Chains A and B, each alone.
Chain A
Amino acid sequence: MEFLSLTTVEETLDKLATYGSDAALIAGGTHARYMLMSGQTQAKAILHIERLEALGGYALNGSARLGALTNMRQIAENEDIRVRFNSLAIAAGKCGGWQTQSVATIGGNVCAASPSADLLPPLLVLETEIELHSQVRGSRSLSLSDFITGAYQSARAPDEMATAFHLPLPAPRSANRYIKIQRRSAMERPIIGLALSLEMDDSQSHIKTIRIALSGGGPMAFRAVEAEGLLTGQAPETEVLHAAAEAISARCTFRDDARASATYRAAVLPRAFSHAVSECLAAISDNGS
């Protein structure tokens, strides 16, 4: 096994072109090292990319760009992210302890494509695009919904590397929140991780657009598009919110695992959803007043 510490994107893409599926990319290593040590992933070459400085940072330029190596702590503590993309900041701040967050990256969390990844629900409701680079084919951008293809599966080709995430700036009269249901207050994967992005109309009485995404509700994080359809154009009242919660549940394949039973997951989901709606409405109303 080779261990290559890389410092530039070009060098990394060159190694990826050479090794393809025999290469494993590793940044902070909080997930990737465990997978390699336990034999769940195998690699002939470990490409250590933690120090590719070009892939760090957060910048606004019409949309927001987050470098793939931005770590969880940087996301959780960034004031601008906390305001514009609150769901993402909250999810990053709840992903492991600070020791994990200091080195775990957004690129690693997304590319690992875990069914219970904390960052996927917020990134899905924020309509994030992921930027991928390959030495042979150049760059492409994919919506995150197209990128995540299954449990631990993504559309990343073996010679590609995620370099950045692009997030459209939220509309006025909108808010986004992340609700994480967990057994303890920290250091847990979510039993349910629900992200909601809500935009109200000019009068703030009806829903203009709504996006709902969930992790822990099936083999992969997903957008609950049926529920979104039910709520678009509606006033956020009890009956339609209840119907929407049912529609989210209908998309789920809950299962029993060490963290919670399927019955518990089904029972807690509508409450998490209702909580997220209340938080978003309160935030929009605060901003508008």
Chain B
Amino acid sequence: MQTTHSVTATINGRAETFEVVGLESLMDVLRNRLHLSGTKEGCREGECGACTVLLDGKPINSCAYIARAAEGREIETIEGLNDDLSYRLKQAIVETGGVQCGYCTPGIIVMLSSLLRRTDAPDEALIREALSGNICRCTGYAQIVDAVLAVIDGNKGAGS
């Protein structure tokens, strides 16, 4: 039997201590121990992006990341993305029809939030490149890209 280890990390701004077993993934810890089920399980091998979270601000596939490696680090999940930018992104993706079955949506919002935090006005090519690790089988991506472009347009309209 594998022993458990205690790990402390900042999750959505709050210090959390949780038990992990062996090489258990960060995704399993978030979903099953911390009950943050907004992070979705898709492929379990880093292919689909449904489990995207931010680790010290960088997007990662939490299914492929060892939870023990998160000791002392800062993790943001879809549940924690409540800043103005993320909020506007969520609104826009609903308005453009970028949500169909919705399974990929949390991972896509997390990825796009990280893109918009570091780049004010990414062009369509960069938006699509940033999304290359997020698989959506419903929308064909066009409405998702439209949502980001709408947020950027809104930024300009607000004179920011």
Q: What residues make up the interface of A, taking CB atoms closer than 8 Å to B? A: 1, 3, 5, 26, 28-30, 33-34, 36-37, 46, 48, 50, 73, 93, 96-100, 102-103, 185-187
Contact = CB atoms under 8 A, between A and B. Distances in A.
B132 A98 contact: yes
A48 B23 CA distance: 11
Given A33-B66, A37-B23, A102-B58, A5 B132 contact: no
13 contacts: A3-B22, A5-B71, A29-B65, A30-B61, A36-B23, A37-B23, A48-B66, A98-B130, A98-B133, A103-B55, A103-B58, A103-B65, A186-B129
Interface majority SS (helix, strand, loop, mixed), chain B: mixed
Contact of B64 (A33, A73, A187): A33
Contact of A5 (B2, B52, B69, B129): B69
Contact of B133 (A34, A37, A48, A97): A97
Interface residues of B, number: 28
B59 interface: yes
A29 B133 contact: no
B71 A99 contact: no
Contacts of B88: none
Contacts of B5: 3
Interface string B18-59: 000011010000000000000000000111010010010011
Nearest to A185: B132
Which 6 residue pairs of A and B lie closest in terms of their CB atoms, listed nearest first? A97-B133, A186-B132, A102-B58, A99-B61, A99-B133, A99-B59
Contacts of A37: 23
Interface in B51-87: 52, 55, 58-61, 64-66, 68-69, 71
B138 to A, nearest CB: 17
Contacts of A34: 45-46, 64
Contact of A97 (B23, B55, B132): B132
Contacts of A99: 46, 49, 52, 59-61, 111, 133
B134 interface: yes
A48 B46 contact: no
Contact of B66 (A29, A93, A100): A29
B27 to A, nearest CB: 12
A1 B65 contact: no
Contact of B60 (A1, A93, A103): A103
Given A34-B46, A97-B134, 17 more contacts: A5-B68, A28-B65, A29-B69, A30-B64, A36-B23, A37-B23, A73-B58, A96-B46, A98-B59, A98-B111, A98-B132, A99-B46, A99-B61, A102-B55, A185-B132, A186-B133, A187-B47
A117 B101 CA distance: 34
Contacts of A96: 46, 133
A73 B114 CA distance: 14
Nearest to B61: A99
A29 B68 contact: no
Given A3-B68, A186-B133, A33 B59 contact: no
A73 to B, nearest CB: 8
